Copies of this chain bind each other. A is one copy, B any other.
Amino acid sequence: MSAPRAVVLLSGGLDSATVLAIACNAGFDCHTLSLDYGQRHRAELGAAERVAQALGAAEHRVVKLGLDAIGGSALTDNAINVPTLGDSDGIPVTYVPARNTVFLSLALGYAEVLGAQDIFIGVNAVDYSGYPDCRPEFIEAFAQLTRLATKRGVEQGEAMRIHTPLIDLTKAQIIQRGAALGIDYAQTVSCYQADAAGRACGVCDSCRFRATGFADAGVDDPTVYQAGQSG
Protein backbone atom coordinates (compact mmCIF):
# COMPACT_ATOMS: atom_id res chain seq x y z
CA MET A 1 0.00 0.00 0.00
CA SER A 2 1.39 3.37 -0.97
CA ALA A 3 1.84 6.16 1.54
CA PRO A 4 -1.10 8.58 1.85
CA ARG A 5 -0.53 11.92 0.18
CA ALA A 6 -0.45 15.13 2.18
CA VAL A 7 -0.14 18.78 1.23
CA VAL A 8 2.40 20.60 3.39
CA LEU A 9 2.42 24.39 3.36
CA LEU A 10 6.10 25.29 3.29
CA SER A 11 7.27 28.87 3.65
CA GLY A 12 10.95 28.06 3.94
CA GLY A 13 11.01 29.20 7.55
CA LEU A 14 11.95 27.26 10.64
CA ASP A 15 8.39 26.30 11.61
CA SER A 16 7.17 24.92 8.30
CA ALA A 17 10.45 23.02 7.76
CA THR A 18 9.83 21.31 11.06
CA VAL A 19 6.26 20.51 10.03
CA LEU A 20 7.52 18.92 6.82
CA ALA A 21 10.00 16.77 8.75
CA ILE A 22 7.18 15.68 11.08
CA ALA A 23 4.84 14.86 8.17
CA CYS A 24 7.53 12.86 6.34
CA ASN A 25 8.42 11.08 9.57
CA ALA A 26 4.74 10.18 10.06
CA GLY A 27 4.81 8.32 6.74
CA PHE A 28 3.05 10.77 4.44
CA ASP A 29 3.95 11.24 0.79
CA CYS A 30 4.49 14.99 1.12
CA HIS A 31 3.61 17.49 -1.59
CA THR A 32 4.92 20.87 -0.54
CA LEU A 33 3.27 24.12 -1.53
CA SER A 34 4.86 27.55 -1.28
CA LEU A 35 3.13 30.85 -1.91
CA ASP A 36 4.98 33.54 -3.79
CA TYR A 37 2.84 36.42 -2.53
CA GLY A 38 5.11 39.35 -3.11
CA GLN A 39 6.68 39.02 0.33
CA ARG A 40 9.70 41.18 1.08
CA HIS A 41 11.62 38.18 2.30
CA ARG A 42 11.76 36.38 -1.02
CA ALA A 43 14.84 34.44 0.07
CA GLU A 44 12.44 32.14 1.93
CA LEU A 45 11.16 30.82 -1.42
CA GLY A 46 14.64 29.53 -2.28
CA ALA A 47 14.88 28.13 1.22
CA ALA A 48 11.57 26.29 0.75
CA GLU A 49 12.86 24.60 -2.38
CA ARG A 50 16.07 23.50 -0.66
CA VAL A 51 14.22 22.27 2.42
CA ALA A 52 11.69 20.30 0.34
CA GLN A 53 14.50 18.53 -1.46
CA ALA A 54 16.58 17.92 1.66
CA LEU A 55 13.68 16.41 3.58
CA GLY A 56 12.50 14.20 0.71
CA ALA A 57 9.23 15.83 -0.37
CA ALA A 58 7.63 14.04 -3.33
CA GLU A 59 7.09 17.29 -5.18
CA HIS A 60 7.41 21.01 -4.54
CA ARG A 61 5.14 23.58 -6.17
CA VAL A 62 4.97 27.35 -6.00
CA VAL A 63 1.75 29.27 -6.53
CA LYS A 64 2.11 32.94 -7.38
CA LEU A 65 -0.34 35.19 -5.61
CA GLY A 66 -0.35 38.94 -6.12
CA LEU A 67 -1.27 40.00 -2.58
CA ASP A 68 0.57 43.25 -3.22
CA ALA A 69 -2.51 44.28 -5.24
CA ILE A 70 -4.48 44.53 -1.99
CA GLY A 71 -1.63 45.61 0.32
CA GLY A 72 -2.28 46.10 4.00
CA SER A 73 0.79 44.42 5.46
CA ALA A 74 4.38 45.36 6.12
CA LEU A 75 5.29 42.08 4.44
CA THR A 76 3.74 42.95 1.09
CA ASP A 77 3.51 46.74 1.14
CA ASN A 78 6.77 48.64 0.96
CA ALA A 79 5.05 51.73 2.36
CA ILE A 80 4.75 50.01 5.77
CA ASN A 81 7.94 49.44 7.75
CA VAL A 82 8.74 46.12 9.40
CA PRO A 83 8.73 46.68 13.19
CA THR A 84 12.01 45.96 14.93
CA LEU A 85 11.47 46.98 18.52
CA GLY A 86 9.06 44.29 19.68
CA ASP A 87 6.78 47.04 20.95
CA SER A 88 3.62 46.21 19.09
CA ASP A 89 0.50 45.64 21.12
CA GLY A 90 -2.26 43.55 19.57
CA ILE A 91 -1.99 42.39 15.99
CA PRO A 92 1.20 43.67 14.34
CA VAL A 93 1.60 45.29 10.93
CA THR A 94 3.37 42.17 9.67
CA TYR A 95 0.00 40.41 9.76
CA VAL A 96 -0.96 39.64 6.15
CA PRO A 97 -4.75 40.08 5.89
CA ALA A 98 -6.49 36.70 5.86
CA ARG A 99 -3.17 35.01 5.11
CA ASN A 100 -3.79 31.59 6.57
CA THR A 101 -7.35 31.53 5.23
CA VAL A 102 -5.94 32.16 1.76
CA PHE A 103 -3.04 29.71 2.18
CA LEU A 104 -5.24 26.94 3.56
CA SER A 105 -7.72 27.51 0.73
CA LEU A 106 -4.99 26.98 -1.81
CA ALA A 107 -3.73 23.92 0.05
CA LEU A 108 -7.30 22.67 -0.01
CA GLY A 109 -7.51 23.11 -3.78
CA TYR A 110 -4.21 21.30 -4.25
CA ALA A 111 -5.29 18.50 -1.91
CA GLU A 112 -8.41 18.06 -4.02
CA VAL A 113 -6.30 17.77 -7.16
CA LEU A 114 -3.99 15.22 -5.51
CA GLY A 115 -6.79 13.24 -3.89
CA ALA A 116 -5.16 13.97 -0.53
CA GLN A 117 -7.11 14.33 2.68
CA ASP A 118 -4.39 15.69 4.91
CA ILE A 119 -3.02 19.22 5.05
CA PHE A 120 -0.13 20.28 7.28
CA ILE A 121 0.42 23.88 8.38
CA GLY A 122 2.97 25.30 10.80
CA VAL A 123 0.71 27.60 12.79
CA ASN A 124 1.64 28.15 16.37
CA ALA A 125 -0.53 29.58 19.10
CA VAL A 126 2.31 30.22 21.57
CA ASP A 127 4.82 32.44 19.78
CA TYR A 128 2.25 33.37 17.19
CA SER A 129 3.04 37.09 17.06
CA GLY A 130 -0.60 37.99 17.67
CA TYR A 131 -2.01 36.72 14.35
CA PRO A 132 -5.70 35.76 14.61
CA ASP A 133 -5.46 32.96 12.06
CA CYS A 134 -2.91 30.96 14.06
CA ARG A 135 -5.36 29.91 16.78
CA PRO A 136 -6.84 26.40 17.22
CA GLU A 137 -10.43 27.62 16.91
CA PHE A 138 -9.66 29.13 13.51
CA ILE A 139 -8.12 25.87 12.29
CA GLU A 140 -11.10 23.87 13.53
CA ALA A 141 -13.53 26.21 11.76
CA PHE A 142 -11.56 25.88 8.55
CA ALA A 143 -11.62 22.07 8.80
CA GLN A 144 -15.39 22.20 9.20
CA LEU A 145 -15.63 24.45 6.14
CA THR A 146 -13.80 21.88 4.00
CA ARG A 147 -16.65 19.41 4.47
CA LEU A 148 -18.90 21.85 2.60
CA ALA A 149 -16.36 23.35 0.23
CA THR A 150 -15.01 20.43 -1.75
CA LYS A 151 -16.03 17.79 -4.23
CA ARG A 152 -14.88 15.04 -1.86
CA GLY A 153 -16.56 16.68 1.12
CA VAL A 154 -19.86 16.82 -0.74
CA GLU A 155 -19.67 13.42 -2.40
CA GLN A 156 -18.24 11.46 0.52
CA GLY A 157 -19.09 13.62 3.53
CA GLU A 158 -15.45 13.83 4.57
CA ALA A 159 -13.62 16.85 5.94
CA MET A 160 -9.92 17.43 5.31
CA ARG A 161 -7.67 16.78 8.27
CA ILE A 162 -5.78 19.98 9.04
CA HIS A 163 -2.65 19.00 10.97
CA THR A 164 -1.02 21.62 13.16
CA PRO A 165 1.74 19.73 14.93
CA LEU A 166 3.38 22.90 16.26
CA ILE A 167 0.29 24.59 17.60
CA ASP A 168 1.06 24.08 21.29
CA LEU A 169 4.86 24.13 21.13
CA THR A 170 7.19 26.94 22.10
CA LYS A 171 9.80 27.99 19.57
CA ALA A 172 12.40 26.14 21.66
CA GLN A 173 10.33 22.94 21.59
CA ILE A 174 9.87 23.26 17.83
CA ILE A 175 13.63 23.56 17.36
CA GLN A 176 14.30 20.59 19.63
CA ARG A 177 11.78 18.50 17.71
CA GLY A 178 13.26 19.45 14.35
CA ALA A 179 16.84 18.95 15.51
CA ALA A 180 15.90 15.44 16.66
CA LEU A 181 14.51 14.78 13.16
CA GLY A 182 17.79 15.90 11.64
CA ILE A 183 16.75 19.23 10.09
CA ASP A 184 19.56 21.50 9.00
CA TYR A 185 18.10 24.82 10.12
CA ALA A 186 20.84 26.69 8.26
CA GLN A 187 18.71 26.01 5.15
CA THR A 188 15.72 27.88 6.57
CA VAL A 189 14.99 31.61 6.47
CA SER A 190 12.75 33.20 9.10
CA CYS A 191 13.68 36.89 8.82
CA TYR A 192 10.95 39.23 7.56
CA GLN A 193 13.56 41.28 5.73
CA ALA A 194 16.24 38.77 4.79
CA ASP A 195 18.59 39.87 2.03
CA ALA A 196 18.81 38.07 -1.32
CA ALA A 197 21.31 35.58 0.10
CA GLY A 198 18.88 34.72 2.90
CA ARG A 199 20.91 36.50 5.62
CA ALA A 200 18.82 37.67 8.56
CA CYS A 201 18.38 41.21 9.89
CA GLY A 202 18.52 40.02 13.50
CA VAL A 203 16.10 42.69 14.75
CA CYS A 204 12.60 41.93 13.38
CA ASP A 205 10.02 40.02 15.46
CA SER A 206 10.67 36.83 13.55
CA CYS A 207 14.46 37.04 14.05
CA ARG A 208 14.06 37.72 17.74
CA PHE A 209 11.69 34.77 18.26
CA ARG A 210 14.06 32.53 16.36
CA ALA A 211 17.22 33.57 18.19
CA THR A 212 15.54 33.23 21.57
CA GLY A 213 14.22 29.84 20.51
CA PHE A 214 17.67 28.47 19.74
CA ALA A 215 19.04 29.87 22.99
CA ASP A 216 16.18 28.40 25.04
CA ALA A 217 16.44 25.06 23.23
CA GLY A 218 20.14 24.77 23.93
CA VAL A 219 20.71 24.16 20.22
CA ASP A 220 23.48 25.93 18.27
CA ASP A 221 21.96 28.70 16.15
CA PRO A 222 23.15 28.30 12.54
CA THR A 223 21.45 31.52 11.36
CA VAL A 224 23.61 33.73 9.16
CA TYR A 225 23.12 37.41 9.90
CA GLN A 226 23.70 40.49 7.77
CA ALA A 227 26.90 42.40 8.53
CA GLY A 228 26.63 44.45 11.69
CA GLN A 229 23.69 42.46 13.08
CA SER A 230 23.51 39.63 15.53
CA GLY A 231 20.74 37.40 16.81
Contacts and interface: CB of A to CB of B under 8 A. Distances in A.
A149 to B, nearest CB: 5
Number of copies: 2
B113 A132 contact: no
B142 A145 contact: yes
Given A98-B150, A145-B101, A149-B100, A66 B63 contact: yes
Interface string A105-149: 110111011000000000000000000110101100110110011
A61 B65 contact: no
A8 to B, nearest CB: 14
A57 B79 CA distance: 25
Interface string A85-106: 0000011000111111110011
B72 A96 contact: no
A71 interface: yes
A33 B97 CA distance: 15
Given A62-B69, A65-B64, A132 B151 contact: yes
A179 interface: no
A64 B63 contact: no
Size range of the chain A interface in the assembly: 35 or more
A36 B63 CA distance: 13
A186 interface: no
A22 interface: no
Nearest to A102: B105
22 contacts: A61-B69, A63-B65, A63-B69, A64-B64, A64-B66, A67-B109, A70-B113, A97-B109, A98-B109, A98-B112, A99-B109, A101-B109, A101-B145, A101-B149, A132-B149, A132-B151, A132-B153, A138-B148, A138-B149, A141-B144, A141-B145, A142-B145
Given A63-B66, A70-B113, A137-B148, 10 more contacts: A63-B70, A64-B64, A70-B106, A91-B151, A96-B109, A97-B110, A102-B105, A133-B150, A141-B148, A142-B145
